[in-house]
A and B are shown apart, each in its own frame.
Chain A
């Protein structure tokens, strides 16, 4: 090895600069904390939090620990992200395909939607839905029932709750159905490759998914009933629905604006993906006698998905990160509960902000590692 100053010099200086900056920060932090009498440590996580959270998926109140509060925030973040991702994907795919429609009106309508929602800041959209649009909803006592069972009011959406008996049997039946479908798919692929026979996989899958849970109802002893929300008077003018599941208006506004906003980007990804498949591919597939459905399923989609999936995952990641805007409308997500309330109470700025950032970082990096693995797997194998 011959070390040259030319190679070592710049690296050494850069590292030195980074170390110096970090050292400077750490030193100042120590001095500052000493002056203010704060001690560094994560011990506060097990202390009693003594603050309440409006909406949580797990049991929580002031007597639980800060760590539990962290979990509540994290779960709420995940909840709104998952709802947003599902809605955004559905809407985005529809709009993306509509952007390619030969129908002039549909095409322009989709383009209008994309240009409109993409160019308005997400925070403004959240505020609009929460402070302007959802405030125009009726009070609980005036709300009209949708389909007779659920109520959309200014205090949130109230839907019936499912009450299961023997839920585990139902759950196992679905798991069994999914396993059976996977086995059938693998066999069908083998059959296709060795003997060229095609199996109606889709029909069989749907059938299995319907029949097995149905059997669990008929012979497994699974029962399902609904608990419909009922209007209850709290005071002379104050009403609320009890029973069932209630979704707070913050969640609705957030999920709505996140999905409307992200759907525009997903729509562009879908459009680019489908357009990215060459016209020749379509023609070649048609000329060897594939039906239009087969062309779409076997030729266009596999190639289009290769283009669509990486940027779309990026959008999912963006949506998850954007869900932190929840803090603006007081939806108790990770940032509000932990980096907001918990920070105010404990004053442990460095610990709490670092935990919050680390959580988001872990989320993003694990998804991008997954994505890189997937990309490598589906990349065209060039020889």
Chain B
């Protein structure tokens, strides 16, 4: 039996009347916006402008008001009410968001796809009102590799593929080799990566000054395992430098240099590197360097020795207090003044040092947070087992602390990747810099938007993937406490 209908108060007894009426009004409002945005038809053109503009909102609001019936017994309706239609305010907001989405689909899709030009390889094809993806296509190599010579670009590709393969070793390692993974990733992998970048990408000889340093470091670390912990500090202070000097000045330096000079690879100076590959190279190296430096300063800040503590605090607070752009300015104009006149450090290397030190301060603070969060009992238990400072930190404290700070470190690395475009200050052009260069090319004026959208999509994918990956890591290493 139909009871009297009070339109100001929807109730359950007239459920279907309200349901049909409400959904009808709601659909009319959505349809109105839909037609308006997709076919530019205005159903309510006969109304005054003001009313015509607000018509869908008012109709939709009334519709949603009618179908807001509590405990209607229809599952879908209850879900709808619970999620987007809890009260008048929420209903209006939901409607507005639906309208915004409907309104923005046609212009965005037409700019991206429908009116966009993909074919051809000159500016002439870009006559439509949409995006000119031809521009991206033509400039793709420049955006990816910078000014790196076209014929040599396989070297970058080869290096990246090889490094990606070597980097994924961790997934395939059997249990027998798992315990060596940390050593591999912390010491050996960066070294191989450096050799690849130096040997393949820049085309230098395999053996040179720096690689002696790294060989010395690796050798001394391996020997260091057998040194009693009492002398370890002094050992690491003296032996690496000694080994380096020994290798460089006394043992087959010249022969190795000759041996390392393989023919066939042209030297490509770092000024020509650029594009997305430079973004990767810089992020990769800064990531590798800033982590150990940051860890050292985090330990230094919690050290029992006051002088070391104050030096660490000073270092961390200094880098955290200044913007990266001034740090890069410093590396560009001030740092050369601090070095002997005949001593030249490559611009890219200076940049990597500057960014690494900068990010190391942030990493240090994140790791300090993890160290502080560990209960005292962990330290005391390790000490009571007779562990020394280094043993305690390497085997007990750091593994737990690092697990705690995975999200923080991931955020710092994200910030690092997002900070790489700033190297335009010193004249290095990674992808954003290349975009700005391409934008000013007289043949391709007026496509700034396409370029920035393209770069934004690439960065977004990288950063979003990183943040999701760190979230997964966090879940994976979450040990119940």
Contact = CB atoms under 8 A, between A and B. Distances in A.
Interface stretch (B219-227, B347-355, B448-456): B448-456
A328 interface: yes
B337 A28 contact: yes
Interface stretch (B23-31, B246-254, B286-294, B313-321): B313-321
B97 A106 contact: yes
Contacts of B418: 119-122
A258 to B, nearest CB: 12
Interface stretch (A123-131, A139-147, A237-245): A123-131
Contacts of A31: 340-341
Interface stretch (B67-75, B168-176, B256-264, B421-429): B421-429
Interface string A327-370: 11000000100010001000001100110110011011100000
A353 B354 CA distance: 14
Interface in B328-344: 329-330, 333-334, 336-341
Nearest to B450: A132
A365 B317 contact: yes
B159 interface: no
B84 A103 contact: yes
Given A35-B341, A104-B84, A350-B337, A10 B233 contact: yes
Contacts of B37: none
B338 A25 contact: yes
B7 interface: no
Contacts of A132: 448-449, 452
Interface of B, helix, strand, loop or mixed by DSSP: helix
B322 A349 contact: no
B436 interface: yes
Contacts of B449: 128, 132-133
Interface stretch (A49-57, A177-185, A286-294, A318-326): A318-326
B233 A116 contact: no
A327 B424 CA distance: 11
A116 B460 contact: yes
Contacts of B460: 116, 119-120
A13 B237 CA distance: 9
Interface in A1-32: 7, 9-11, 13-15, 18, 24-25, 28-29, 31-32
B46 interface: no
Nearest to A261: B418
A29 B337 contact: yes
Given A124-B432, A128-B452, A339-B326, A11 B93 contact: no
B307 A15 contact: yes
Contact of B432 (A35, A123, A321, A350): A123
A109 interface: yes
B270 interface: no
Residue among B86, B329, B420 with max Cβ neighbours from chain A (10 Å):
B329
B90 interface: yes
B187 interface: no
Contact of A357 (B330, B337, B455): B330
B463 interface: yes
Contacts of B452: 124, 127-128, 131-132
B321 A335 contact: no
A33 interface: yes
B459 A321 contact: no
Interface string A144-188: 000000000000000000000000000000000000000000000
Interface string A293-328: 000000000000000000000000000011011011
A9 B237 CA distance: 12
B325 A325 contact: yes
Contacts of A327: 325, 425
A41 interface: no
A349 B332 CA distance: 10
B307 A361 contact: no
Residue among B334, B339, B449, B453 with max Cβ neighbours from chain A (10 Å):
B334
B400 interface: no
B334 A349 contact: yes
A105 B94 contact: yes
Given A15-B311, A131-B448, A10 B341 contact: no
A232 interface: no
A292 to B, nearest CB: 13
A223 interface: no
Contacts of B306: 11
A106 B337 CA distance: 55
Contacts of A190: none
A29 B467 CA distance: 43
Residue among B321, B459, B464 with max Cβ neighbours from chain A (10 Å):
B321
Contact of B333 (A14, A115, A123, A349): A349
Nearest to B279: A121
B368 interface: no
Contacts of B39: none
Interface string B88-132: 001001100110000000000000000000000000000000000
Given A349-B333, A357-B322, A120 B463 contact: yes
Contacts of A128: 449, 452-453, 456
Given A102-B86, A128-B456, A324-B325, 7 more contacts: A11-B305, A32-B336, A105-B97, A131-B448, A335-B326, A353-B326, A356-B326
21 contacts: A7-B305, A18-B311, A28-B337, A28-B340, A31-B340, A102-B83, A103-B83, A103-B93, A118-B463, A119-B414, A119-B418, A121-B421, A124-B456, A127-B452, A128-B456, A131-B448, A132-B448, A133-B449, A325-B325, A353-B334, A361-B321
Q: What are the 8 closest A-B residue pairs judged by CB atoms, nearest first? A: A119-B463, A364-B321, A104-B83, A321-B323, A25-B338, A324-B323, A361-B321, A121-B418
